[in-house]
Amino acid sequence: MSKIKGPIRNLTALEKEIYRLELEANRTEGKLGDNFKYLKHHFPEMALGSITQRFASRSLWVSLVELLFQNDHLRGKMGKGLEWLAEKSASWIKHKFRK
């Protein structure tokens, strides 16, 4: 469904535009959910890669950070933190769009 060109002048056109925007919002919400799932799954590796590049000359720091990110308990806590962040972000976005 394509975007309506120009101003909306009747109820039918308004309903079509609302429907189109709802479909677009659902697609965007799905993409956002997929992106958060990807981030949750890959965050430890991405963070580790970022930190190891920054502190590559300090092998002790690199070893310590690798050890921390390989800890399953810490990875679980990071995942829960990302879930919380995703929920709060989604509720904030929904709140802003309802205004």
Domain residue spans of the chain = 33-98
pLDDT tens string 18-33: 999 999 999 999 999 8
Helices 59-69 and 11-54, interaxial angle, to 10°? 130
Contacts of 23 (CB under 8 A, 6+ apart): 1
**Residue 78 near residue 45, CB atoms below 8 Å:** no
pLDDT tens string 12-65: 999 999 999 999 999 999 999 899 889 888 888 887 777 666 666 666 667 777
pTM of the model: 0.47
